Amino acid sequence: MTLHHHDAIALSRRNLLRSTVLLGAGAAAGALPFGSQLAHAAMAVGFEARWPKVTAMLDKYVSQRKVAGMVAALGWGDKDPGFIVRGKEAFDDPDGAGENSLFRAYSQTKPVTGMAAMMLIDDRKLKLDQPVADFIPEFANMRVAIDPKNSLDARPAKNQITVRHLLTHTAGLGYAGVGKEKVSAELLRLGVTLRC
């Protein structure tokens, strides 16, 4: 889904007034017992009114059971983000989703990691062709499987694995349980899996 700038600022007077009233009520409720919960709920409702398309999308995906729960964190500039929350942490989990819920992101972490690495490179704190062993010494003496399908025999790697290799998925690292190779089976046996 693409949000356009006019979506962010297209507030009706009614929604703007409602948001202000709810935020004010939430702040006043903060002084009462259980006030922080009431204030948080009131601010969430006001925040959702500012992002009707995002709120509708979360409502749709959770109500259609495409996902158990969703959390949208929306921020602007250096201000703290606001959150829109729907559903539970898992279909069989009684806990509701929230700001601190952890969800599997699978490959969606790749672009985030890539951007973070490139920011570090831009700040000259990391080099693209820097060996990973500089940070994780266990990567210093890597070995390469000679016949991964049929054997665990290996030879020393000719080159060090670099940051570039990791970012471009050319490091030669495999996944446990993916494929029918002996190396994959051995990783699985050792407990090196894709599970979090």
d(CA 181, CA 187): 10
| Burial call 116-142: b when 16+ CB within 10 Å, e when fewer | ebeeebeeeebeeeebbeeeeeebeeb
40-63 pLDDT, tens digit each: 555 566 788 888 999 999 999 999
171 CB-side CA count, 13 A: 20
Please report, for the chain, the start and end positions of each structural domain, with discontinuous segments joined by +: 5-103, 107-189
Which band of pLDDT confidence, cut at 50, 70 and 90, is reported for residue 158? very high
Where in 22-136 does DSSP place strands (E)? Answer: 69-74, 82-87
- pTM of the prediction? 0.52
- Confidence (pLDDT) at 21: 39
d(CA 154, CA 144): 5
d(CA 158, CA 172): 12
113-144 pLDDT, tens digit each: 999 999 999 999 999 999 999 999 999 999 99
d(CA 61, CA 65): 6
- Confidence (pLDDT) at 184: 80
d(CA 162, CA 174): 16
CA 131 to chain centre: 26
